[in-house]
Chain A
């Protein structure tokens, strides 16, 4: 089946540790996105990538890093510099259209808790 997978579903880490969240898609989508969701707030964009080996910062990139070495993979690292990393993280992907993008497809999310 085509889709987006994120692993793990739940992740616990000690404060000060870096942690990497996985996102893989087999939809052959060009664009991939990472969002953070906090209770009572809308999703906020962390990073996005249009093509392999290229990515741009979103609205809240501080304390996060990404890589796009393969079209199907867009891992997110939450570094120790992120002041409040406990949140629900969602990955998404979409087709790039001429001058626009199509519907974004979301993964199931990873709930990160920093103890």
Chain B
């Protein structure tokens, strides 16, 4: 069983819609990352958070340490947001990440 679970696996939205991706984990963590992977394969780090909430442009990430749950929200979605979004948790001080399987997001015009 994967210790990091994401939902949904796939998501299709119309441009302008509000999108939420969820991540639940079953291990103790020191931080959680949200990553974005575009079709070419390159990965970009969106957020690293250990508590509360962070916002960058139209992206918002929240984490509830007690419930072992994090969400990534995309407001006013746009076709350029189409990508795979990956949740990863930092489980030790050596930088070892455990990854969710990713959520494929498609935003249609």
Give A residues with C-beta under 8 Å from B: 31, 33, 40-45, 48, 50, 56, 58, 88, 90, 92, 94, 96, 99-109, 111
Contacts and interface: CB of A to CB of B under 8 A. Distances in A.
Interface residues of B, number: 26
Interface of B: 2, 4, 30-31, 33, 35, 40-45, 48, 86, 88, 90, 93-102
Given A101-B95, A104-B33, A111-B41, 18 more contacts: A31-B95, A33-B95, A42-B98, A42-B101, A43-B86, A44-B99, A45-B96, A48-B95, A100-B93, A100-B95, A102-B48, A103-B33, A104-B45, A105-B45, A108-B40, A108-B41, A109-B41, A109-B42
A99 B93 contact: yes
A100 B97 contact: no
10 contacts: A40-B101, A42-B88, A42-B101, A45-B97, A48-B94, A90-B41, A100-B30, A101-B93, A101-B94, A106-B45
B86 to A, nearest CB: 7
B42 A106 contact: yes
A100 B48 CA distance: 12
B95 A104 contact: yes
B93 A103 contact: no
Contacts of A106: 35, 42-45
B42 A42 contact: no
10 smallest A-B Cβ distances: which pairs? A42-B99, A101-B95, A106-B43, A109-B41, A43-B99, A108-B42, A103-B45, A42-B101, A103-B48, A99-B93
A110 B30 CA distance: 29
